[in-house]
Structure 1
Amino acid sequence: MSYGNQGDGGYGQQPPSGGGYGGGYGQQPPSGGGYGQQPPSGGGYGQQPPSGGGYGQQPPSGGGYGGGYGQQPPSGGGYGGGYGGGPGGNPPDNQLVPAILTTLFCCLPLGIVAIVKSSQVNQKWQIGDFAGAQQAAEEAKTWWKRSLIIGAIGIGLLIIAYVLFFVILAASVSTTYSY
């Protein structure tokens, strides 16, 4: 067996006396060959029947969204190009910055909900759920506004409570030392 003898046959040719199934393991036909050459008589695994109808063939009329298994529309993709192929081109504002700020400075539980909703916007846009991305953006906006309102009310009530506490403390201190 000679590994260095490549000859006409391509990659890995065996000597002509190598018996077994068809003249040797990996032997190529004497016409030149190479990887994947089909025998000239037809009937190889990768050949398409001459009548058409193979899985990989595309119909000649093509065009549009129903013309074949893997065909793309002539525009090059989806619903109008742009970022992610969405109808408007760009995803809606995910409201992440106001969601983070209201979480830090106003109301933590509602702000966390706003952050979760805002993180869903880009994910839904990338998978093609444009209506879901728009809805998640609106919900994020709603939740950070709720967080802002509840936080403002809470801070206002806290300020009022401190003022009342100091007024009552000052009144009690002044009446105690008036003797």
Structure 2
Amino acid sequence: MSDPKYEKLEEDEPDTQEPLASSEQKPYKETEPLKRHAGPQDPTGYGATLPKGSEYPRSYGTSSAGPYQTPGLLPPPGVSVRPIQTTEEPDYLCYSIFTMLCCCLPLGIAALVFSIQTRDANHRGDAASAQRNSRNARILAHTALGVGLVLLIVYIVLMVIMTKKIHEQNPPTGQ
């Protein structure tokens, strides 16, 4: 190694020390993690109650907990937690699946998408969105059913006309 940097590093390398004899080693002392340390307690810890008239700590969201404390889990001021009220708008899911499979596939798929969005809005408790999506699912499903029936009637009429033309060109032979 002709590079002077490597040579310098090798020269500055510390000597390895021999391990201490067992009589010179400090005895191992096991700590008890369930005991709290002696000292001032943080009043913002988990389950703590603040004195009357005091506000929540300004350092909300920062972890200033000691070694055996959990971070402050108090909600910020002005926040209340309410259970979600689900709505009960009809989602027309079965109707949408039927129209998708039996009537008109593109409109049935669109109706199915709105049906699923209605179900999600019902679970979220979003009444306005649930009503709008329910109405769109119903309209698209009705439209898909109408288009499917019209196409079925047109198909039947065309088959009757084609059958008449075939029979006119090739009349059946009588006995």
TM-score scaled by structure 2? 0.60
Residue in structure 2 matched with residue 164 of structure 1 by the alignment: 161
Listed as ranges, the matches of 1:77-96 within 5 Å are 77-78=82-83, 84-86=84-86, 90-96=87-93
Residue in structure 1 matched with residue 111 of structure 2 by the alignment: 114
SS of match in other structure, 1:34: coil
Read off the aligned partner of 2:78 and give its amino acid letter: Y
CA distance in 1, matches of 2:35, 2:79: 29
User: Which segments of 5 or more consecutive residues in structure 2 lack a partner in the other structure?
Assistant: 1-26, 59-76
Listed as ranges, the matches of 1:1-12 within 5 Å are 1-4=27-30, 10-11=32-33
1:141 aligns with 2:143: no
Residue in structure 2 matched with residue 15 of structure 1 by the alignment: none
SS of match in other structure, 1:174: coil
User: Which segments of 5 or more consecutive residues in structure 1 lack a partner in the other structure?
Assistant: 12-32, 57-67, 79-83
Identity of aligned residues (%): 21
Read off the aligned partner of 1:147 and give its amino acid letter: A
CA distance in 2, matches of 1:162, 1:50: 86
Listed as ranges, the matches of 1:119-134 within 5 Å are 119-134=116-131
1:53 aligns with 2:55: yes
Residue in structure 2 matched with residue 39 of structure 1 by the alignment: 39
1:101 aligns with 2:103: no
SS of match in other structure, 1:93: coil
Shift of 1:160: 0.2
Shift of 1:49: 7.8
Shift of 1:46: 3.9
Q: Which has the higher contact order (CA 8 A, sep 6+)?
A: 2
Shift of 1:109: 0.7
CA distance in 2, matches of 1:91, 1:164: 49
Q: Per-residue displacement from partner, 1:100-125 (whole Å, max 9, x unpaired)?
A: 11111111111110001101012122
Distance verdict in 2 for CA 1:125–1:55, change over 3 Å: farther
Residue in structure 2 matched with residue 151 of structure 1 by the alignment: 148
CA distance in 2, matches of 1:172, 1:166: 10
Residue in structure 1 matched with residue 16 of structure 2 by the alignment: none
- Whether contact under 8 Å (2:99, 2:105) holds in the other structure is yes
Greater CA radius of gyration, 1 or 2?
Answer: 2
Read off the aligned partner of 1:112 and give its amino acid letter: I
TM-score scaled by structure 1? 0.59
CA distance in 2, matches of 1:55, 1:34: 25
Distance verdict in 2 for CA 1:161–1:53, change over 3 Å: same
Q: Per-residue displacement from partner, 1:39-59 (whole Å, max 9, x unpaired)?
A: 24x7x5847688612249xxx
Listed as ranges, the matches of 1:167-178 within 5 Å are 167-174=164-171
